[in-house]
Amino acid sequence: MKEVKLETTLQVYSNIVELPKDIQDLMNAAIIARNKAYAPYSKFNVGAAILLDNGEIVSGSNQENASYPSGLCAERTAIYYAGAKYPSAKILKMALTASSQNQITDTPIPPCGACRQAIAEYEIKQDQPIEIYFMGAKGKVVKSHSLANLLPVGFDRSYL
Ligand code: THU
Q: Is 11 among the domain residues?
A: no
> Average model confidence (pLDDT) for the chain?
98
Q: Is 6 among the domain residues?
A: no
Domain encompassing residue 51: 35-142
Q: Is 130 among the domain residues?
A: yes
Query: Cα separations (Å) of 51 from 8, 55, 56, 106?
Result: 23, 7, 6, 24
Catalytic member of 64, 75, 123, 131? 75
* Best of 35, 36, 46 for a ligand 1 pocket test (most atoms within 8 Å of beta carbon): 46
User: Domain total for the chain?
Assistant: 1
Look up residue 88 and give its amino acid.
S
What's the whole-number mean pLDDT along residues 36-56? Answer: 98
Q: Is 157 among the domain residues?
A: no
Rounded distance between C-alpha atoms, residue 59 and residue 95, angstroms = 9
Q: Is 98 among the domain residues?
A: yes
Which among 61, 57, 64, 130 is positioned nearest to 96, based on CA atoms? 61
Q: Is 105 among the domain residues?
A: yes
Q: pTM here?
A: 0.97
Residue 11: band (very low, low, confident or very high) from pLDDT cuts 50, 70, 90: very high
Q: What are phi and psi of 21, to 5 degrees?
A: -55, -45
62-75 tens-digit pLDDT? 999 999 999 999 99
Give the number of the atom of ligand 1 that is nearest the alpha carbon of residue 111.
6
* CATH code where residue 84 lies: 3.40.140.10
What's the whole-number mean pLDDT along residues 10-37? Answer: 98
**Run of H or E residues at 95:** strand 91-100
Q: Is 155 among the domain residues?
A: no
